């Protein structure tokens, strides 16, 4: 980590909460204090990450700098300071989120709020219909455990959670499955199948009207699912995403990434990076109308899906941070062979942009382009973690 230290100001907030504020949030906090405190009311260990509101980009994703400020219960701050007694305060936001992502610190409310706290944060438009949250997993078992622990319990509230384990050996996951009541676990065979095979198979097993995607090394904010469904109901869009906080374990930073609010308009202007697929919700009928995922590759197929979806459905991003994304060295986007910008990834994605523009201009049929969905020839299948076993 490099750069000058950021001066932080600590402020006691009734009842039993503390805010750590950098210069950008300090001047905005007072007018939002009451609303923020109300959102953490009744939480023994609540956290709200704070950052200034900014106008979202029009066409492409935009990194909006590092994030240092947060409001939390005194118990959370005391635990954090006990674990890191001599750390500069501008490092505490990163260490707090890293502790949450690693399961070292559990909180009962996890929010991200832009300041000044706007009315639209409270103006929930209730959506209707059951949702299926679909998660493919291959990697650290603890990442999956933490991801599941920050989701609403699947206990009759209309939410179904389905996890596809893309692993050759799943014996160590039986104890996790036994603890996660209401979550359906499957094994993808033969493994590795790749995340898009798993997601496609889970989608085909899910009859719920809304499908929610989630990467197993990330964490959802407490209001993510309700906010996405509310945004879908408010806008009438078939696919809805949101902004993200990145917890970069390589750089030791928390960064804010904003996305265009009108994804369809952004793609009309060109093949931009407009939506984080792992943070999105889609209407089930829209997912299959678009053609589902191509499954012959393990990377980049969300980009192809997004370009193809442009021709079928309206898409948008909520002007809210609802998803906390872990950046780590073992991720496919960081692996030297498959990372963003690698020749392997560029070779896969290179024809999509020109074909996208050609289809838009009427020079090429979508079904004859490289954007058409292609299924893998390998006979992958999802098998319940144990025969007849759904915990």
**Mean pLDDT of all residues belonging to the chain:** 91
CA-nearest of 276, 283, 261 to 324 is: 276
The pTM of the full predicted model, rounded to 2 decimals, is 0.93
User: What does DSSP say about strands 183-189 and 239-248: parallel, antiparallel, or unpaired?
Assistant: unpaired
CA angle 140, 145, 151 (to 5 degrees): 135
| Least confident residue range of 19-28, 53-62, 286-295, 342-351 | 342-351
Band of the pLDDT at 117, cuts 50, 70, 90? confident
More confident residue, 17 or 332: 17
Look up residue 33 and give its two tokens: 């204090």
CATH 3.90.550.10 fits 131-368, yes or no: yes
Q: How many CB atoms lie within 10 A of CB 370?
A: 19
CA-nearest of 204, 193, 192 to 134 is: 204
Band of the pLDDT at 14, cuts 50, 70, 90? confident
**Mean pLDDT within 20-32:** 95
By CB atoms closer than 10 A (0-12, 13-18, 19+), residue 368 is exposed
- pLDDT tops 50 at residue 122: no
CA separation for the pair 13, 89 (Å, rounded): 17
| Least confident residue range of 55-69, 132-146, 340-354 | 340-354
* Domain ranges (residues) in the chain: 9-121, 131-368
**Mean pLDDT within 293-306:** 92
CA separation for the pair 171, 187 (Å, rounded): 11
Q: Where are the alpha helices (DSSP H) in 223-336?
A: 224-235, 263-269, 284-290, 301-309
Cβ-Cβ contacts under 8 Å for 318 (sequence gap 6 or more) = 227, 228, 231, 240, 241, 242, 243, 261
**Mean pLDDT within 7-21:** 94
Give the model confidence (pLDDT) of 253-262 as tens digits: 999 999 999 9
CA-nearest of 313, 128, 294, 140 to 226 is: 128
- What is the pLDDT, as a whole number, of residue 2? 52
| Least confident residue range of 98-102, 340-344, 350-354 | 340-344
Residue 218 CA to its chain's centroid (Å) = 6
């Amino acid at each position: 980590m490099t750069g000058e230290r950021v001066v932080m100001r600590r402020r006691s907030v009734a009842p039993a909460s503390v805010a750590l504020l950098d210069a950008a949030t300090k001047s905005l906090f007072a007018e939002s204090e009451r609303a923020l405190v109300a959102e953490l009311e009744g939480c023994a260990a609540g956290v709200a990450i704070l950052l200034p509101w900014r106008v979202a980009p029009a066409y492409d994703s935009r990194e909006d700098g590092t994030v240092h400020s947060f409001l939390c219960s005194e118990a959370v701050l005391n635990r954090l300071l006990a674990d890191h007694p001599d750390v500069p305060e501008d490092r505490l936001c990163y260490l707090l989120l890293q502790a949450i992502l690693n399961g070292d610190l559990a909180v009962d409310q996890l929010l991200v709020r832009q300041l000044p706290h706007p009315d639209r944060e409270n103006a929930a438009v209730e959506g209707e219909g059951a949702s299926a949250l679909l998660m493919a997993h291959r990697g650290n078992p603890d990442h999956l455990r933490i991801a599941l622990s920050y989701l609403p319990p699947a206990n009759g509230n209309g939410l179904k959670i389905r996890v596809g384990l893309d692993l050759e050996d799943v014996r160590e996951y039986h104890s996790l499955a036994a603890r996660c009541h209401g979550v359906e676990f499957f094994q993808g065979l033969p493994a590795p199948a790749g995340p898009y095979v798993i997601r496609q198979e889970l989608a085909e097993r899910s009859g719920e009207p809304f499908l929610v995607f989630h990467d197993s090394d990330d964490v959802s904010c407490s209001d993510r699912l309700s906010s996405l469904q509310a945004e879908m109901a408010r806008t009438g869009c078939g696919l809805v995403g949101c902004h993200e906080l990145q917890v970069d374990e390589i750089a030791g930073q928390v960064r804010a990434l904003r996305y265009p609010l009108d994804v369809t308009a952004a793609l009309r202007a060109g093949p931009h990076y407009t939506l984080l697929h792992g943070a999105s919700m889609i209407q089930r009928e829209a997912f299959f109308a678009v053609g589902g995922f191509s499954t012959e590759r393990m990377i980049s197929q969300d980009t192809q899906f997004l370009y193809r979806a442009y021709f079928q459905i309206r898409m948008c991003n909520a002007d809210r941070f609802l998803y906390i994304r872990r950046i780590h060295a073992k991720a496919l986007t960081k692996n030297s062979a498959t990372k963003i910008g690698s020749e392997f990834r560029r070779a896969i994605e290179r024809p999509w942009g020109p074909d996208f523009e050609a289809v838009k201009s009427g020079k090429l049929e979508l079904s004859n382009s490289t954007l058409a969905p292609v299924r893998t020839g390998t006979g992958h299948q999802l098998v319940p973690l144990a025969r007849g076993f759904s915990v």
